[in-house]
Amino acid sequence: MVNKMVNKLRKNLTERQKKVLDAIRKFILDNGYSPTVRQLGEALDIANPSAVFKHILSLEKKGYLERVQGEVRLAGFPAPLETQARVPLVGLVPAGLPKEVFDVSGEAVDIPEWMVGRRKGNIFCIRVDGKSMVDAFIDDGDWVLVERTNSANSGEMVVTLLDDGSTTLKRLKMKDGEVLLVPENPEFEPIKVKELKVLGRVIGVLRKY
């Protein structure tokens, strides 16, 4: 019943709007973060940033996108059961003070397949412990989808293994040869690391209200 109500609230898309939405979804799945207007324009071969922004506004009005602090995000929409993907769960990962490395739980969770995309089989899910990433909309107890990788770009949110064997979830910042794991909460201090050991990068957040 809820799914039908949500679908009725969404207005039909033009072919051009469908291409824009697909490009945004693909960029997020490929990179783990939302595209800028310029990056989206490059993906769509649209040179005028104003034209790209008009498409974003149209999709926002129709309920397919939302903007949070200037960042474009896909509005959560329901997926039928046949488009679910099964993702393994692992233990707690701290978004606060680093803790010992997580263990595989042997459990799994079903999530909408569009959140996984082509990375199916290379995604795991962790439960966040702590509040160091609340300003990035990741709170204590949230489930976070992580793509397995040993590399990441500056600005991405990553799960890393520290020299003492502990793990933490932070935003990666690299500048002038300095590597920092930066919290999204002013109550926590950045962690400076000499050697970065990335376990994965964040591609999505699951939350139950």
Residues noted as catalytic: 132, 170
- CA–CA gap between residue 141 and residue 92 (Å, rounded): 9
How many other C-beta atoms can be found within 10 angstroms of the C-beta atom of residue 106?
8
Query: Pick from 117, 62, 60, 121: which is nearest to 87 by CA?
Result: 121
- CA–CA gap between residue 154 and residue 63 (Å, rounded): 30
Strands 65-68 vs 104-112: parallel, antiparallel or unpaired: unpaired
Can you spell out the DSSP letters for 3-70? HHHHHHHSPPPPHHHHHHHHHHHHHHHHHSSPPPHHHHHHHHT---HHHHHHHHHHHHHTTSEEEETT
